[in-house]
Structure 1
Amino acid sequence: MKTLAISTLTICGIEELPGNSAREVTHVLSVLDPDRAEIEAFDAYGEHHRVTLRFHDIIDPRPGQIMPAPEHVEAILNFGEGLRETAAARRTGHLLVHCHMGVSRSTAAMLSLMAQAAPEEGEDALFVRLREIRPQAWPNSVMVGFADARLGRRGRLTEALRRHYAHQIVAQPNFRRWMTDLGRGRELEMAL
């Protein structure tokens, strides 16, 4: 993301936020459940620009829950466009993207931002970079699909996501049980 003048990229969960307060975070993208209370950890952060999106981490409709939607991914990409537009005004920056656990929504958001910032970069290379930032990344497939379409990647991002999932179920075998328990078996099937 050097085109955005962001020198440090961090993905984390809510419980990890206090540990990042001294890291000179300049930009935050928060992806939270709709009923989640405001996060007090940001009171300890220095001056930063923060955008908060609220929807559930699901891939199929569930009663009473809000699915990721194209407008959520559009808001993420608008955030990225804002980073690009303000790049000349800063030499460096630290972007922190978080969700509840720092595994699914936040990694899908960061992947979307990286794909937007580097349209020439191959999809598999983007997932390698994502794993370097957050080894336990399991991006929400619905969000990745919306980003793929919006960025004109013509299904290549979704195909690379399949390979990423296949990599992750070998590297992190606990994902099989975890995603099954969360009703995300369709993503496991993508890996096969």
Structure 2
Amino acid sequence: MQRIPIQMLTICGIAELPDQRDRSVTHVLSILDPNHPDPEAFEAYDRHRRTILRFHDIINPIPGMILPTPQDVEAILRFGDDVAEEEGGRVEGHLLVHCHMGISRSTAAMLTLMAQANPDESEDRLFERLAEIRPQAWPNSLMVDFADDLLSRHGRLTDALRRHYGRQIRRMPNYVQVMHDLGRGREVEMAA
């Protein structure tokens, strides 16, 4: 079973970025709203490789907002390919994926990277590992749907996402109202 060629995986939000400064971060995937300024926290980081993607954390079209696209998920997969190629199978390093809160876009991106690096790992195990990394994970369903297709998981990743949402709602019932308030009620309805 292939693993992401990085020994440490972290997901966080912008407010947590300063806390990661001294943790030897080597690779960063930043997912930001289109007009959000670049986080200043990275000025204090040691040298690292960083990719920035910009789109909103939405699952339905909203006027004036940018939906995640298959091209965004392809960019995440290219990032994963680049990390694997750069590391050449070594396990040194620290991969940090962040978005604004470290709950939705970043967890969908990390799930995508883990599924890419571990094509034979079960989808449920990938979600278990994701929850170990970021217990509050609520991956953006649109991004997961694109990853499912691009990684030829034939709906299995999306089915596992439904089960993950169900577990998260049982653990954190407040997510039902939060997701409805954010216009993400469809994801609550997906929960199995």
SS of equivalent to 1:61: coil
Match of 2:143 in 1: 143
Structural mapping, 1:112-191, within 5 Å: 112-191=112-191
Structural mapping, 1:1-192, within 5 Å: 3-88=3-88, 90-192=90-192
4+ residue stretches of structure 1 with deviation over 2 A? 1-5, 88-91
**Structure 1: distance between partners of 2:18 and 2:151:** 33
Give aligned-pair identity as a percent. Answer: 64
CA shift for structure 1 position 5: 2.3
Contact in 2 for aligned 1:3/1:84 (Cα 8 Å) = no
Alignment gaps of 5+ in structure 2: none
**Structure 2: distance between partners of 1:164 and 1:145:** 14
TM-score (norm 1): 0.97
CA shift for structure 1 position 38: 1.2
Alignment gaps of 5+ in structure 1: none
* Number of matched pairs: 192
**Structure 2: distance between partners of 1:90 and 1:115:** 18
Distance 1:97 1:9, change over 3 A: same
**Structure 2: distance between partners of 1:89 and 1:130:** 21
For residues 37-82 of structure 1, what are the alpha-carbon distances to aligned partners after superposition, in whole Å with 9 as ceiling and x for unaligned? 1110000100000000000000000000000000000000000000
**Structure 1: distance between partners of 2:124 and 2:3:** 20
Shifted more, 82-91 versus 179-188: the winner is: 82-91
TM-score (norm 2): 0.97
SS of equivalent to 1:86: helix
